[in-house]
Structure 1
Amino acid sequence: MDDKKIAIFGVGRVGLPLALVLAEKGFVVTGIDVDPYRINLLKHKIMPFMEEGAAQLLEKHSGKNFQVFSQEHIDRIVAENAVIIFTLGTPIDDTYSPNFSDIEKLIRRISPVIKSGHTIILRSTVSPGATEQLARQLEEQTKLILGKTLFLAYCPERIAEGKSVEELGQIPQIIGSLEESSAKKAANIFEKIAPKILFTNTRSAELAKLFCNMYRYIDFAIGNEFMMIAESYGCDIYDVLKLVNNDYKRAGLKSPGLTAGPCLVKDGFFLIDKSPYMELVTAAWRLNENIPGYLLSRIKEQVGDLTKKKVAILGLAFKKNIDDTRYSLSPKLKRYFLAEGAKVSVSDPFIDSQPLEDALLGAEILIIGVNHDVFKNITFEYLSKFVSSDCIIADIWNIFQTGKIVFYFKDVLKKGKTEIKPNGEMKTYEKNKHLERRRVSA
């Protein structure tokens, strides 16, 4: 079989950048997806989401080294491609346990078509031991022998969403396998794009992926807890962070923020699903997930009754400069304020939402939900044209550089800080892309 021919199941935020980078390196890549809208966009050479550098690769390789099809073509595509890569989503279920049902269903579906020589690479996030379970399922259903007639490796992604194309060529690729032959098969692919290959067993690879995300999640939780502690003593966390991190050799404290996203929120549950060692992971989850509630409480301390108060939330994505809302905490903020009887407007430059000026008009409470770079161009002078003079602002990201988590707009204006940020033009990416997507779907 030709190892230069690769099929990728799932051309979402993990699978699509990988497919395009592999195509750029000379592989012939076929993507399979269940979303007809996404497939339609890709066939029209339109990226379905924001990803730096991906649009150029899509334009260059679409219809050549990269094609995408619906699942109706599964049998043909599996038979024609020597390498099968799974990048399917692995959510948590109602009991906060890992849900691998989509991967299990896919294996049952393609097992009759898998033949001697196929290499299967699992790239989805899984819990420790999942690859071994997958190996047993594959051997049982295909009647092939791992390491001899069938090859399987776990090769987790560790890229930052929005930076995938760049980071695929910068971050060492972990390859976990149950035997040497499968590791070599996977290395033949990833050595073409990664600067270094790190070989290990499957469980260590699975843990490494989860540890990467949970270390960051816990690190961010420390920043959020320290913020609340500083606030309880009447101190500004950003002033304290400057003292701690300024030229101190062992510094590195994270600033507070609305910490979210699928990789950070759900991966902890993959880690502790069958483990008694859960205190640190669950504490981090409670801390980060409760920041919206903390901000609500701080604002209620100042405002009191929120009934009919107009609230503007800036940012819907789970992190800055992307258009992905999965596990974002801004919708939770919105729900909390609606439950208090407030009227809530939300604006995000990269996601279908209200225009910025409409959201700000008459706002009595302004919350910076996401630290998009474009929000740094908003000046107090600009705000004064729209928000109420008594507006209270919650700026956990310190976008306005006051160092305060919650403050009154009028108090800042009295100090003469109306021009602390330079004016800038808001980007129009989202408007152009939404129009393109609507035209294709029409």
Structure 2
Amino acid sequence: MNVAVIGIGRIGLPLAVTIASRGHRVTGCDIDADRVARINRAENPLPDEAGLGDLLARTIADGSFRATTDTAAGVRDAAVILFAVRVDVDADGRADLSHLLAAVDTVAPALTPGALCIFDTTLPVGTTRRVLAPRLERGGRRLGEDLHVAFSPERLLMGRVIEDLTKYPKVVGGVDPEGGRLAADFYRQTFGGEVLLLSSAEAAELSKLAEGAYRDLNIALANELAMVADVHGLDIAEVIRAANSQPYSHIHVPGTGVGGHCIPVYPRFLMQGEGPSALSALGRAVNDAMPGYVVRRLAALLGGLEGRRVLVLGLTFRPDVAVTFHTNAVDLRRELEALGARVEGHDPLLTPEGIASLGFARAAEPLAGYDAAIVHSYHRAYAGLDWARIAPVVVDARNALDRAAVEAAGVRYLGVGRPPTPAS
């Protein structure tokens, strides 16, 4: 079967080469000419994505996968078109569909009769039926006759996309009944895992938003409990371990907010006015406030931050993945600078230009002589750091460090919802 994947970025490229490796002929379409050229040379643009390099090299070599900037040509003979175009939020917190709509408008006139279009992304409820399917029909095809449309949200973690494609059930919902059935059959044949065919595209859209809102609210609860623990001088890690020993409790880990493509974004799709969203808004408010809360705790510990040199370690949104979308490292920098600190950033996964693009002065090697260090993303490369040389105080922004090891180095430890090491 000929398949086209629209958008070959963090999700689309691993998805495309995996489908190609399963016996389909896949064309990846993207507007980034440099990325397309590199991919066609079998150069992996995502070295932190497990297994991608080998699959890309193999599928390029055997001709089952190719990339192009000519999207219309790329979809002309495709029986299935997967849209993996990222949807973000605009300045008002509403879904920004501009890139996805541009892709749809390019694809619509080139669709082959009977084509199945699947939106493999995350969208506000009703978007597939009310916005995207009608735009596809503008190309001359009629929904339910010679055009079928379905929604199937990505349920993937960056860094292990290929593994996750078959790890979790694939959720599918059709705009037209045949679209749902065809999409479910396609995923069963391609990935061989469980497929949950829901009653509609709207049900599938809401299921994805439910996942994101649950995680955001769970983290907000963990963060609120951490602040209670701080009031009473308790260690939230101990408290959560005890709570989670009960099988109905699954409290997550507190930290300085939530970053990335997903969790900070998708609850806002519920907050656009299509239904009640007070709880989602509250979770967002709690998590968005955490960088400032942690910086104020550090300021209290040091007796102020005016003129203090502070190092932020790990600027990506999570460890060992070179992605900076909505990273809370930027929020930490802003809060630190607001209290007069002189802030530098370090991240082994980013180029000097990437560090500068986040507004950080780049930390010079060797890392030493700071008044405090904040570990935002604890990359594997940081496992052997000499904490005593770096700073006398280390803030564990994700409660990811070995507290005993930090204190054994003679350094004061401060976690989120964890008492600081007493002054010696």
| Smaller-chain TM-score bracket | 0.7 to 0.9
Task: Note the residue ranges of structure 2 that are not aligned, 5 or more in a row.
Answer: 356-361, 414-424
- TM-score (norm. length: structure 1): 0.84
Aligned to 1:69: 68
Report whether the alignment pairs 1:308 with 2:307.
yes
In structure 2, the CA distance between the partners of 1:20 and 1:115, relative to structure 1 (3 Å rule), is closer
For residues 407 and 232 of structure 1, the distance between their equivalents in structure 2, rounded to whole angstroms, comes to 26
For residues 84 and 194 of structure 2, the distance between their equivalents in structure 1, rounded to whole angstroms, comes to 21
Deviation, 1:113, is 2.0
In structure 2, the CA distance between the partners of 1:230 and 1:244, relative to structure 1 (3 Å rule), is same
For residues 192 and 329 of structure 2, the distance between their equivalents in structure 1, rounded to whole angstroms, comes to 35
Deviation, 1:121, is 1.1
Query: Are 2:79 and 2:112, in contact at CA under 8 Å, matched by a contact in 1?
Result: no
Query: Are 2:109 and 2:140, in contact at CA under 8 Å, matched by a contact in 1?
Result: no
Aligned to 1:360: 367
In structure 2, the CA distance between the partners of 1:408 and 1:364, relative to structure 1 (3 Å rule), is farther
Report whether the alignment pairs 1:58 with 2:56.
yes
In structure 2, the CA distance between the partners of 1:206 and 1:400, relative to structure 1 (3 Å rule), is closer
Percent identical pairs in the alignment equals 27
In structure 2, the CA distance between the partners of 1:98 and 1:297, relative to structure 1 (3 Å rule), is same
Aligned to 2:97: 100
Query: Are 1:393 and 1:406, in contact at CA under 8 Å, matched by a contact in 2?
Result: no
Query: Are 1:236 and 1:403, in contact at CA under 8 Å, matched by a contact in 2?
Result: no
In structure 2, the CA distance between the partners of 1:137 and 1:406, relative to structure 1 (3 Å rule), is farther
For residues 93 and 406 of structure 2, the distance between their equivalents in structure 1, rounded to whole angstroms, comes to 32
Aligned to 1:395: 396
For residues 145 and 299 of structure 1, the distance between their equivalents in structure 2, rounded to whole angstroms, comes to 60
Deviation, 1:405, is 12
Aligned to 2:379: 372
2:139 is aligned with what amino acid? Answer: T
Aligned to 1:279: 278
The alignment partner of 1:215 has SS state of: helix
Query: Are 2:393 and 2:412, in contact at CA under 8 Å, matched by a contact in 1?
Result: no
Aligned to 2:358: none
Greater shift in the superposed pair: 184-193 or 218-227: 184-193
Aligned to 2:246: 248
Q: Residues 288-332 of structure 1: CA distance to partner in whole angstroms, max 9, x if unpaired? A: 111110111101112234233111111111112211010110111
For residues 276 and 407 of structure 1, the distance between their equivalents in structure 2, rounded to whole angstroms, comes to 52
Report whether the alignment pairs 1:383 with 2:387.
yes
- TM-score (norm. length: structure 2): 0.88
1:284 is aligned with what amino acid? Answer: G
In structure 2, the CA distance between the partners of 1:404 and 1:229, relative to structure 1 (3 Å rule), is farther
Deviation, 1:237, is 1.3
2:401 is aligned with what amino acid? Answer: F
Aligned to 1:176: 173
Deviation, 1:409, is 5.1
For residues 406 and 168 of structure 1, the distance between their equivalents in structure 2, rounded to whole angstroms, comes to 41
Deviation, 1:145, is 2.1
For residues 369 and 167 of structure 1, the distance between their equivalents in structure 2, rounded to whole angstroms, comes to 25
For residues 77 and 37 of structure 1, the distance between their equivalents in structure 2, rounded to whole angstroms, comes to 17
The alignment partner of 1:360 has SS state of: coil
The alignment partner of 2:344 has SS state of: strand
Q: Residues 107-131 of structure 1: CA distance to partner in whole angstroms, max 9, x if unpaired? A: 2233222232221111121111111
For residues 325 and 248 of structure 2, the distance between their equivalents in structure 1, rounded to whole angstroms, comes to 34
1:288 is aligned with what amino acid? Answer: N
Query: Are 2:254 and 2:398, in contact at CA under 8 Å, matched by a contact in 1?
Result: yes
Aligned to 1:45: 42
Query: Are 1:21 and 1:57, in contact at CA under 8 Å, matched by a contact in 2?
Result: yes
In structure 2, the CA distance between the partners of 1:241 and 1:110, relative to structure 1 (3 Å rule), is closer
Query: Are 2:180 and 2:197, in contact at CA under 8 Å, matched by a contact in 1?
Result: yes
For residues 290 and 93 of structure 1, the distance between their equivalents in structure 2, rounded to whole angstroms, comes to 20
2:371 is aligned with what amino acid? Answer: E
Deviation, 1:403, is 8.1
For residues 103 and 411 of structure 1, the distance between their equivalents in structure 2, rounded to whole angstroms, comes to 48
For residues 214 and 129 of structure 2, the distance between their equivalents in structure 1, rounded to whole angstroms, comes to 25
Structure 1 runs of 4+ aligned residues shifted over 6 Å read: 354-357, 403-408
Q: Of 161, 164, 180, which aligns to 1:164?
A: 161
Q: CA RMSD in A?
A: 2.4
2:100 is aligned with what amino acid? Answer: I
Query: Are 1:9 and 1:87, in contact at CA under 8 Å, matched by a contact in 2?
Result: yes
Aligned ranges 1:326-365 → 2 under 5 Å = 326-353=325-352, 358=365, 360-365=367-372
The alignment partner of 1:160 has SS state of: coil
Task: Note the residue ranges of structure 1 that are not aligned, 5 or more in a row.
Answer: 413-442
Deviation, 1:84, is 1.4
Aligned to 1:422: none
Deviation, 1:357, is 7.1
Report whether the alignment pairs 1:123 with 2:120.
yes
Q: Residues 135-190 of structure 1: CA distance to partner in whole angstroms, max 9, x if unpaired? A: 22322x13322222111111111111111100101211111103332123212321
Aligned to 1:317: 316
For residues 221 and 91 of structure 1, the distance between their equivalents in structure 2, rounded to whole angstroms, comes to 21
In structure 2, the CA distance between the partners of 1:253 and 1:403, relative to structure 1 (3 Å rule), is farther
Greater shift in the superposed pair: 200-209 or 44-53: 44-53
Query: Are 2:78 and 2:112, in contact at CA under 8 Å, matched by a contact in 1?
Result: no
Report whether the alignment pairs 1:10 with 2:11.
no
